[in-house]
Amino acid sequence: MIAEPCIDTKDTACVEVCPVDCIHPKKDGAEFADVNKLYIDPETCIDCGACVPVCPVQAIFPQEELPEKWAGELHADRRRLVRTAEVALGCLPSRRMGSQPSRQGMDR
Ligand code: SF4
Ligand code: SF4
């Protein structure tokens, strides 16, 4: 779980060390400029802990150890994950592409 201290730091040090590529978005990804902090896909994360010591602002916590003051981040990250999946499936446009919403997958 990536908490508030990542906001506007986004140096992607954690992305570089993650062995399963589950921290999003990537620096060269379409969504990178749109988010103020990165987030972890909990379905892919293997809890190896490699990202924790490389974070310069101590923003990464196991979900059960997330300080209460940042609990809202958990819900925000889940919304981002759903949106990222929808963009990947073509249900929503990437905001940076400036295109109109695709109807692909909506008419079925
Ligand atoms: S704990 Fe390991 S697998 Fe999970 S986000 Fe960090 S580096 Fe990636
Ligand atoms: S290392 Fe820390 S500050 Fe840098 S992107 Fe990852 S969570 Fe954010």
pLDDT in tens, 32-87: 998 899 999 989 999 999 999 999 999 999 888 888 888 877 777 777 777 777 77
Domain regions of the chain by residue span: 4-97
Averaged pLDDT, 80-106: 59
List of residues 6+ apart from 44 with CB closer than 8 A: 20, 21, 22
Give the residues surrounding ligand 2 with Cβ less than 6 Å away: 2, 6, 9-14, 38, 54-57, 59-60
Q: Which of 1, 8, 9 most suits a substitution to test ligand 2, by most atoms within 8 Å of the C-beta?
A: 9
pLDDT confidence of residue 5: 94
**47 φ/ψ sector (left φ>0, alpha ψ -120 to 50, else beta):** left
Atom of ligand 1 nearest to the CA of 17: 7
Topology given in CATH for the domain delimited by 4-97: Alpha-Beta Plaits (3.30.70)
Nearest-CA residue for atom 1 of ligand 2: 55
Whole-model pTM: value is 0.75
pLDDT confidence of residue 30: 86
Residue 103 Cα to ligand 1 middle (Å): 34
